[in-house]
Structure 1
Amino acid sequence: MKKIIFLLSGLILINCSKSNGEKQEVKADLMEVISEDKAPSSAAAPIPPPSYISEKMASDENGTNKDVYTPKKTDTISRKIIKNGDMKIQVGDIKKAQRQVNDILKKNNAYIQKEDFQNTDLDDNLNLIIRVPHKNFDVLISSFSDGIGSVLSKNISSNDVTEEYTDVSIKLANKKIYLEKYRDMLKSAATTKDMLEIQEKIRELEDEIDVAEGRLRFIDDRVNYSTLSLNLYKEKVRSSATSKIGFGSRFVDSVTEGWNSFVSFMLGIVSLWPFFLLIPFIIFFWRKWKSGKKNKN
């Protein structure tokens, strides 16, 4: 009986060892398959980074040009030209001319920034400050020259500010780079003194950046929208009625001017009061001198 039990237990142990061996062989096969599947992916060429990142990494590895801003080819700035104009046009009717001006402005997407009207005995003057897209500036000038009235004067000027715009843009980009570096330094500041000094530098850079950005916005506005100063002038016909009005106003002005002259004269005399105080002494000494002279005779 004991022999039978030993034989059975021996058979069981042999079967278990075979099954474990088979499992190990299966695991080995799986590992080989997995390694074969991973090999091609690891051998594949990595995706290259963008050119500007690779350039920055190369410069950082060489230890040079870490803090230098190098504009990309796409950072080229187009020419910045500011156009301004000044025109004076004589018209027959101010209101009619103003309606014509408004129609021309609508066609050219322009608008009136400032309007000033003056009415005198001699003439009427309507002064307009007009802003117009730079591409419509020449068309606007031609429209005013042809269909409004007689052009008395015209002055057109162009100012190329490309160099100034480029210089401000480059300085602005560099200031932003330094600002980020100071902000990183602020995070790792060890003492309160260092923190205050870095915060002061950050504040100065932020102010300079605001000024530079404001200057760029101003230049862009002047470049995108040209400015035209337009004066509509109408000379009044001097009729008998206007002549009377003109004479009356001049007469009143003359009376007023005469009164002002009289007041100025009186005030001038009053300002000489110290000399008037000396007159009695002068008269007294003169009489005394005269009486003494008579006594000697």
Structure 2
Amino acid sequence: MRTKILILCCLIGILFSCSTKSEQHSESRNEVNTSTDNENQVAEMVMAPAPSDSKSGEYRLETNAKATAQQTAVDKQKIIKDGNITVKSNNISNSKKGIDNLLKKLNAYYESEDLQNNEQSISYTLKIRIPAVNFEKLITNLENGEDEIESKNIQARDVTEEYVDIETRLITKRQYLQRYKQILAKAATVKDILAIEENIRNLEEEIDSQQGRLKYLADQVAFSTLNISLYKNKEYIEQPKSGFLTRTKMAINQGWQSIVDFMLWAISIWPYLIIISVLYLIIKRIIRTRRIKKANN
């Protein structure tokens, strides 16, 4: 009887021990799972929206941005027009006034204006900015004018592809910037905050740079540039030859002027003449004294 009781007690103890270990193992596993879930939530909050870790999201952003930019490009191509024209004028004053009136009519303006006037010619170097829609009108008016067109060079550059590319990048970067700001509001640690703020700063710098380039291209597209070289050669006037009496008079004047120049030069060096004279007298006296001594000896 005692033996049965002892065996029963041993079995109960073994079962209780196994049950306790199982409960402890289950609690430990639940704690580990809870800790892991918390860590994953933090990692997902900081890293999931980042461009480098979400290729599918990046692809969707770039695809949508590119589609929007391409639709804009289809509506209107981006063409930059500029040129150089050399114009020979018979009356440069009238030609310049004509260009001034033409610019007012076509809503254009001078970006720079340079005038050169010398013995051979008088010339204007003009840099004109004009609305692209009036660029051809300006050239046509110059060609149909009274002045002679000596040379003309017109260029047209299609920057639509570059414009679309910059617009696409701007749309994508603005979307990334918005996502980073949302992440920043949820960041929990100082390390995460500093890392996200650095990414935001870099994105803002890139956006500012690309906005500047886009603004420059838009200005070049909206306003064309035309460089005009307007000039007139002056008439050569031959000087009449001088007669004998005139040349004789000029020779006398030149001779007299030479004498005056020499006298003025001599007056200007009088201190040196005095010094040289004093040195000469001193040296002469020393030589005479030595000769007297030799004669006495």
User: Does the alignment pair 1:231 with 2:216?
Assistant: no
Rate the CA distance shift 1:166–1:241 in 2: closer, same or farther, 3 A: farther
TM-score (norm 2): 0.57
Indicate which of 66, 72, 77 corresponds to 1:76.
Answer: 72
Q: Name the stretch that deviates more: 91-100 or 78-87.
A: 91-100
Map 1:8-157 to 2 at 5 A: 66-67=57-58, 68-69=60-61, 70-71=64-65, 75-77=71-73, 78-157=76-155
Count of residue correspondences: 181
1:217 — aligned with what? Answer: 215
Residues 153 and 96 (structure 1), Cα distance of their counterparts in 2 relative to 1, 3 Å cut = same
What are the superposed Cα offsets for residues 29-63 of structure 1, whole Å, 9 maximum, x if unpaired?
xxxxxxxxxxxxxxxxxxxxxxxxxxxxxxxxxx9
- Determine if the alignment matches structure 1 residue 195 to structure 2 residue 223: no
- What is the identity, as a one-letter code, of the residue corresponding to 1:221? D
For residue 242 of structure 1, report the CA deviation from its aligned partner.
Answer: 12
Amino acid in structure 2 at the alignment position of 1:191: T
Q: State the AA in 2 paired with 1:195.
A: I
| Runs of at least 5 residues in structure 2 that lack an aligned partner in the other structure | 1-53, 242-297
C-alpha displacement of 1:221: 0.6
- Mapped to 1, the partners of 2:146 and 2:116 lie a distance apart of 19
For the residues of structure 2 that align with 1:97 and 1:64, how far apart are their CA atoms?
63
Q: Deviations over 1:92-112 (max 9, x none)?
A: 222211100011111111111
TM-score of the aligned structures, taking structure 1 as reference length: 0.57
Report how far residue 195 of structure 1 moved. Answer: 1.1
* Shift in alpha-carbon separation, 1:156–1:96, aligned structure 2, 3 A: same
1:159 CA drift (Å): 0.2
CA distance in 2 between partners of 1:172 and 1:207 (Å): 11
Q: Distance in 2 between matches of 1:66 and 1:161?
A: 29
Q: d(CA) in 1 for partners of 2:173 and 2:56?
A: 16
Task: Flag structure 1 segments of 5+ consecutive residues without an equivalent.
Answer: 1-62, 244-297
Distance 2:180 2:199 in 1: 8
* CA apart distance, 1:144: 1.0
Q: How does 1:234-245 map to 2 (within 5 A)?
A: 234-240=232-238
State the partner residue of 2:270.
none
Q: Secondary structure at the match of 2:144?
A: helix
Residues 167-196 of structure 1: per-residue CA shift (max 9 Å, x gap): 111011100011011111111111112111
Root mean square deviation of aligned Cα:
2.2
Residue of structure 1 in register with 2:206 after alignment: 208
- For residues 195 and 143 of structure 2, the distance between their equivalents in structure 1, rounded to whole angstroms, comes to 61
Mean Cα deviation higher: 74-83 or 95-104: 74-83
Query: Do the aligned partners of residues 181 and 240 (structure 1) sit closer, same or farther apart at CA in structure 2, a change above 3 Å counting?
Result: same
8 Å CA contact 1:100, 1:148 repeated in 2? no
Distance in 2, Cα, partners of 1:217 & 1:241: 58
Calculate percent identity across the aligned residue pairs.
39
Map of 2:159 onto structure 1: 161
Contact 1:121 1:242 in 2 (8 A): no
After superposing on structure 2, the runs of 4+ consecutive aligned residues of structure 1 that deviate more than 4 Å are 63-67, 71-74
Q: Are the counterparts in 2 of residues 129 and 227 from structure 1 also a CA contact under 8 Å?
A: yes
Partner of 2:20: none
* SS of equivalent to 1:121: coil
Q: Deviations over 1:123-160 (max 9, x none)?
A: 11101110111111111001011115101110000000
Conserved 8 A contact 1:88-1:231: yes
Map 1:251-266 to 2 at 5 A.
Answer: none
Classify 1:66/1:143 alpha carbon distance in 2 versus 1 (closer, same or farther; 3 Å). same
AA aligned opposite 1:131: R
